[in-house]
Structure formats: C-alpha cells, structure tokens
A and B are shown apart, each in its own frame.
Chain A
C-alpha cells in the first residue's frame, strides 16, 4: 500500500520535472537580451570597453542566436546524460562549479534546521502549556521581533556592529587561511567557528514562526477529550504531553521538511549575498543576473528535483508518523 503510493508518486514526478524545467528555461530566457548583452552591459557600466566583433563571435559559438526550443533541447538532452554544459561566464563545466557550493549549502541548511528545531520545539511546547504566563509573553514578543526583522537587515546590522565596534569581520564561512585549503579537521573547526552567525541570522525568523505554529497546534490538542482521559488515568503530565498532543502537533514540522530541500539552494539568497557566504544561492543569483543560462538552468533543475524529492520525503514521513494519513 505504502510502497505503491511511493511508486506512483515517483512515476508522476518525471513528466512533471520536464514540464517544470521547460518553464524554468523559458523564464531564464525571458528577460530581454542574452548572456552577451548582459556581459557587454556590465562591462560598459564599469567604464570598460568591449570588443563588438568578439561579442558577436561568442554569441554564435554559444548558439545564443538559435531558436529557444532548440537551445532547450541541447541543454536538457545533455543534462540527462549528466553534462550540464559550460558556464558562459566562467568557461568552466557547470557541474564542477555547483558541487562545492552545494555541499556548503547543505551544511548550512542542515545546521539551521537543527538550530531551529532545537529551539522552536521546546519553546513552542512551553508557551502552549504555560499559556499567558510571563514566560509565554516573553518568548512570544521575542518571537515576533525575530519574525518581523528581515534576515538580511539583521545580517547588515550585525556586520556593522562587528566592524565598527569590535573591528572584526563576521562575513564568510571560513578564515582566510582555510578558504582554498582542502578539507581537514582544522578547516571543519574553522567552519564551525563561523557558521553559527549565519545559522542564528537565518534561524531566527524560522524559529519564531515554528514556535507560533507549535503553540497553536498544541493548544488545539491540549483540551481534547483524549488528553483529559489520559490525565484522569494518572499519566504523568510530561509523559502525557510528549506522547500524545505533541506527536500530533508536530505534523506541520514534518510536512515542511519537503520545503527545506529547495531551500538548500534558494533559501536566504539575499542574506548569503550580504554575508558573502560561499553557498549556492549567490552563485545562482549571479547566474540569473548574468543570464548565464546553463549555470542558472542547472540550479533550477536541481531546485525542481529537490522540491519533488522533498515533497516525496515529507509525504512518506507523514504517512509513517501519522496513521490517519496512511489509511486514508
């Protein structure tokens, strides 16, 4: 039953994926001009001069004068075989460009998710169980501030304070000496020393919203008859809450895991730009701005795949923890 469900979901994903990539590729090509226009405009803006003949030759070499569907076909047919093409901007194969950035994105996203959950779950439970207590008001107020402050603004403020008052630099994920170094224990420690800043910045608003969700869901459950019954039967308060209402209230957490996957790439792009984080977001943003089609296309393709996989994972997890879904 569950297996069949999963299988059906996977089969359906394939045509969906193609449809989405076609739309994505069309969107990338939609802005006026192409990579060459953008390249020339950017140089021209910096007061630099470009060689027109060279630009025309590049346009021809890259096949940018070909019809849209043909360009899409070149791209997708190669992508299926694992060849994502050459980045116009960097003259490097796209595949070598994206993986390093992806791994840092995954690390950051996982760390943020852990941080968020570790904070949001207990606080949410606390503020539901102790509704309208001073503690509840306190965390709720802090939560709202966290929710209302845009991440990038928080990042800018933090950077400004760090530079002006402490003379230190909070941007990036590594110290200078580890930037280009191969992975080692020392580099990992260095990463750990840096990553908490973006984790806190990125985690605050998510934590705040999850606290609210947890609180609201739990409040719905706390006065259900089954809770009263269990309490009447003498179950300790802690066990009672953790075993029944929390298990139901956690449902939305699990169903949003799916969103976390595409968030790996697209999440917090602006914050990553502000903080100069070497994650996938800024690279994708730049590829889109430069109309570097194959590089941007590879990211979009990954985003699509991750969304579809993420939803699948969410659905499966939900079915596992919540019997009501399984048997519907």
Chain B
C-alpha cells in the first residue's frame, strides 16, 4: 500500500520542485519523528501552574510525539509580548497570518516544501489518490482534551462534507466527487479521492486548507443538532438565528472574524484568544497555549513569547503612527506600500525597529485585463484582436512609468514567476515590453482603426469615437492611478482614448467580478504558478481573471452557466485540471509551462513591472526573524517562518 515512487532532485530547480510535490513526503517523516525528544523546558508561569497542581507536567501536555522545530538563529528564552496592529474590522486574516494556519501540513519557512505539521507524518500512494495522515500520540487541544482521529472525522464528515453546514469546498473534491475519509485507528486517518490529486498537500498547507483539524469535536459538537438534542434552547439562549449561526458564533470558521471571537473554543494554535475580536473590540489579546505541541531542539515547549497584543486601529494611518511611535513590534500587512517607506525609514531609530524584506515569488505589480467577454460588441471585437493588445503593450513606455511613479524601483515585466523560479516562462514575462509607438500605430491601423477624429483620436470603423474605460481601485495601490495617468498620455499619442474609472472597492468588485460590466480593469499579478496558488492571469479560474469572468463562471459551473470559452481557453482549463492532479513534479511543471505557452501566444493580459519586494518592520531585539521572507497569501506571511520561535533578546 505504501508509495513506491521516488525521484531524484537535480540542481536548484529540483530543490524548489521538491517542496511543491508529493515526492518529498518521506523526507520530513524521518527528520521529525526520529527526534522523539522529551519536552523538558516550559515557560516559568506554566511551571508555577504545574507546581501548584493546576496543570499536568509539560511532557504530558505536549504528548509523546511533539513536533521538533529548529529555530532560525538560536534557542530562545521565554517571555514578553509581541505587538502587531489590526486595521479596523474584517482584518481577521491579519490574526490568521500571525498565529498561523495549524493544518495537517504546512509550508517550510522557505516556501519550498510541504512538511508535516499537526500530522506527524503522511504517506501518499503512487497514484496520488490516497493520503494517509499519522497524528501525534498524546497531542491535545488547548483545553487539555486529547486530539485524535475522531476530531478529524468530525471535521470531515460532519462539517466539510455536510451540505447543511456549508457546501464542500472545491479543494476536497476531484472531478466533482468529494473525498472519502476513514479512521484507521485513533491516530491514523485516510482521505481517498476518485482521481489523482497532486496539489492536495499544497491545498492543505494553504490558510484555507485547515478545515480537517479546525474544530474540537468535544467542544463544537454541542452546537450541532446531530449531537445536542436541546439545540433549540441553546439557539434561543444565545440569541442566534439558527444552529449554523450558533455554530459560527461559538466556533467560527476559517475566514470570518468570529474565528477569534470566543475564548472558550479549544484550538491547536500557539496562542489562544483571551480578549476576543468582536464587534466592539479595540484590541485583541492572545496568550500562550499551555498545551501547544511544538518544542525546540532542546526540548523547550513553544511558543517563547507569552502574549500577542493587537490593537485595532480604525485606519492605516493609525497603524503607521503606531509603527513610527515604536508601539508595533512586527508590521507588514497594510503598511508596506511604497509611499509609506520613506516615513518608516526615517523613523527607524526613533521607533527602534528595522526593515525585513517580503519578497513575492513572482508576478507583476499591475496588470491590465481587457475584457475579452465585454458586453459591448464593438469593444469586444477589438479587444479580442491580439494585434490590439500587442499595440497597447508596445504603446506603453514602461521605463518612464517606473522612473516616475515607482521611483525607479522596478523592471519592465509582463507577468509570471521570476527568472530563478522553476516555473519561469520567458515568453510570458518578457514579450512586447519594448516601447515602440510606430509599430503600435501600424498595428492599430491594420485593425481598421485608421480613421481619426478632429482631436486626433481613432474612430471605430462605423465612425463612432473609439474609447474605453479602465476600472481601478485608487485606495488599493496608490501607484496604480498614477501609472494609469501616464499610460493614458502615452496611449493618446497613438490615438487611443482611455478613461480612468476610479471607484470604491465593493463597486469595483461588483462591476468587474460579479456582473462583467467593465471594459478593462487593473489588478496585481502577484500570483505565481506554485501548487496551491491560482494562476489566474494565464487561465480564467478565479474572480480575479477579469479578462473573461463569464469563462470563469462556465468553468466553475461545469459548463452550465457563464459563456463557453474559445478553444484555447478550454485547452488551458483542461491542462489546469490535469496539472492539479499530477503527482510527478516534472510532469506537473511541463503541463503548467504548456499552459503558459498557450497563454503567452494569446497574450490576454498586459503587465507593467516586476512585483518587487515590499518591506515590513520588526523591532530591534526580536530574534529568529528572517531578514527576508516569501510574501504570498498561500504562504501566509509571516506565520510559516514560525513566530512561535521568535523571542526577545535580553
């Protein structure tokens, strides 16, 4: 039953690939369980509790197979608090990114391989359909109750696969069929898919892949009618609308503020909520989980830091003010835009902090998606001409924009992973980058747009002025509107009339991603093609694929809704499905690059500049913090760099 495939890594490509794929499954297995180390150290406050008989000894709390973590620089010392800021409400993922998604598996700190986490180890069969997870014996929830296979079964069968609670997320299905879960014994569970699913481990390592171990059965089952006969009384007593609402109120869900709203809910996190994130809250406080199941290489229970304190500032400016005032120990989210960098740099000494780098794995800072499925037939016809899009790209003086708007900090780039990434695709990233207005003019003339109006702007073949709008959110990235203004001038020189349509974000989302009313839209192209991430600029698979939203709908509804895409897109959708299933890293890479080639030939999306690293701040004296960390949503920066090992130097 055990897998037999092995593969040999070669060079740096192989090293990175290793992590993306299943092949690595056995490497961490040895590194982790062989440690079999005893927990001997613990925070002084916990030691006092043990001495007073309020807590079991540390070795008992962490279980017999704790995860052993090697700290980045040094073994730490206990104590202190870590302050970081939240921006208003709906910043729940700001907490998630600090506490970390404690899923069955996680990304290693370099974003190169998926390693065991809550699970002690995992096996995958040769076909990539059967995933077996071995849990840690003696591991406990934060309330001290045991964590076993029953909890996983509760999460899978009663919640993930229970349509009454919520529809089954796509990541737990293949070919429309949900996975099957079995309990082999108290510490072993097996998930089986109907088709090969190479990306499954990467999906589990992502922030939204935590479902199988999110809820404690012991606590959360009381909020379900299946386990509690008196549920109706409880619903009334808690002022809830129905049991689902009651459940969300008490146990939360992956992506809602209520996840951090109930101090009584047991978790597997390094810190647990003591002052919750609720409607009236002005700060969130989390304290160490006495039952946390990770230890350092010398047997000290993690985390080192006692307490997380997150004041809730109503806007970004108050976060900046807190940062320069030295009241934030770690900050990245919301404050890392280029326009904040000077003020943050200026106050490094006063605020007693330094910068760390947050480097995206690839992509571009800004892409323009022409709506190839526009509701305006004239525009649709022109946008669908590749020559038009090429002309628009050649009509952009990227270097001038980079020099003016981005203070020279950039490099002309379409989109896609960088040169040092195994998924780098030269054509996708570097075609049509030169500034060539003459050629652009010739291409546009060739499309029948050769008539000009009195103002020198091009006319449609029917004599109407040719004009379109580009939708953009000005608050998202302040450089976007500035860049668009330069692009507007540059395009006017080749006779193309573009209007900048700045709007509020909900309206933008509703107009572009929901109702497909846009002519064109701006977004970032920070995605890369790593497993578990959506390559939405080369294949229309997400609401950020604004060049073909109806195609996304067609794909998501299995052909029932939306609009049937052209053959090239269909081919890529097939390749995307195939790539997700591939267990062999080389095959997957080849498939993804094949998809990229088709996308590059079609040239649907126009990029501006490489997405360069942003900079966060970290207090001097905080140790085990990397100087540079990958920046991405799938790798929820910074938690995979293991904040539980960060500590304060004396």
Contacts and interface: CB of A to CB of B under 8 A. Distances in A.
A286 B318 contact: no
B509 A47 contact: no
B327 interface: yes
A93 B239 contact: yes
Interface in A150-183: 156, 159-160, 163-164, 167, 169, 171-172, 174, 176, 179-180
Interface string B270-295: 00000100111011010000000000
A322 interface: no
Contacts of B534: 49
B90 A32 contact: no
B167 A90 contact: no
B325 A91 contact: no
A52 B350 CA distance: 44
Contact of A91 (B248, B275, B312, B511): B248
B317 A274 contact: yes
B249 interface: yes
Given A42-B90, A49-B534, A160 B321 contact: yes
Interface stretch (B250-258, B367-375, B401-409): B250-258
Interface stretch (A19-27, A113-121, A249-257, A275-283): A275-283
B21 interface: no
Interface in B48-82: none
B240 A90 contact: no
A41 B240 CA distance: 26
B476 interface: yes
Contacts of A225: none
A91 B249 contact: yes
Contacts of A96: 239, 279
B239 A40 contact: no
Nearest to B524: A47
Contact of A89 (B89, B275, B324): B89
A87 B279 contact: yes
B543 interface: yes
B543 A40 contact: yes
Chain B CB within 10 Å — which of A51, A57, A176 has the most?
A51
B511 A274 contact: no
A93 B245 CA distance: 10
B255 A41 contact: no
Interface stretch (B183-191, B385-393, B421-429, B500-508): B500-508
Contact of A274 (B318, B326, B514, B526): B318
A1 interface: no
A287 to B, nearest CB: 9
Contact of A37 (B244, B473, B514): B514
A91 B239 contact: no
Contacts of B208: 49, 51
Contacts of A167: 325-326
B217 interface: no
B317 to A, nearest CB: 7
A90 B473 contact: no
A46 B87 CA distance: 11
Contacts, number: 171
Interface residues of A, number: 62
Contacts of A290: 89-90
A163 B314 contact: no
A232 interface: no
B269 interface: no
Contact of B88 (A83, A274, A286): A286
B533 to A, nearest CB: 9
A48 B208 CA distance: 10
Contact of B506 (A38, A172, A286): A38
A54 B169 contact: yes
A187 interface: no
Contact of A286 (B89, B252, B311, B514): B89
A176 B307 CA distance: 14
A96 B285 CA distance: 20
Interface in B455-483: 473, 476
Given A52-B543, A274-B314, A274-B318, A295 B239 contact: no
A41 B313 contact: no
A42 B505 contact: yes
Contacts of B166: 53-54, 57
B261 interface: yes
B333 interface: yes
Interface string B154-195: 000000000000111110000000000000000000000000
B333 A46 contact: yes
A53 to B, nearest CB: 4
Nearest to A93: B239
Given A42-B505, A276-B313, A97 B283 contact: no
Contacts of B90: 39, 42-43, 89, 286, 290
A86 interface: yes
Nearest to B508: A41
Contacts of A176: 283, 309
Given A37-B506, A49-B542, A172 B280 contact: no
Nearest to A273: B314
B544 A44 contact: yes
A91 B633 CA distance: 24
Contact of A54 (B167, B324, B507, B513): B167
B255 A276 contact: no
Interface string A37-79: 1111111111111111110110001000000000000000000
A278 B280 contact: yes
Contacts of A40: 509, 513, 543
Interface of A: 31-33, 37-54, 56-57, 61, 83, 85-87, 89-93, 95-97, 100-101, 156, 159-160, 163-164, 167, 169, 171-172, 174, 176, 179-180, 272-274, 276, 278, 282-283, 286, 290-291, 295
Closest 10 pairs (CB-CB, A-B): A41-B509, A33-B510, A97-B279, A91-B258, A163-B325, A93-B239, A273-B314, A53-B167, A38-B506, A90-B279
28 contacts: A31-B506, A32-B511, A33-B509, A33-B510, A38-B505, A41-B509, A44-B509, A44-B513, A46-B333, A48-B207, A51-B208, A57-B166, A86-B240, A89-B89, A90-B257, A90-B261, A91-B261, A96-B279, A101-B280, A160-B321, A163-B324, A164-B325, A169-B325, A179-B275, A180-B275, A274-B318, A276-B312, A286-B88
Given A31-B506, A61-B244, A286-B314, 5 more contacts: A45-B476, A47-B633, A51-B208, A163-B324, A169-B325
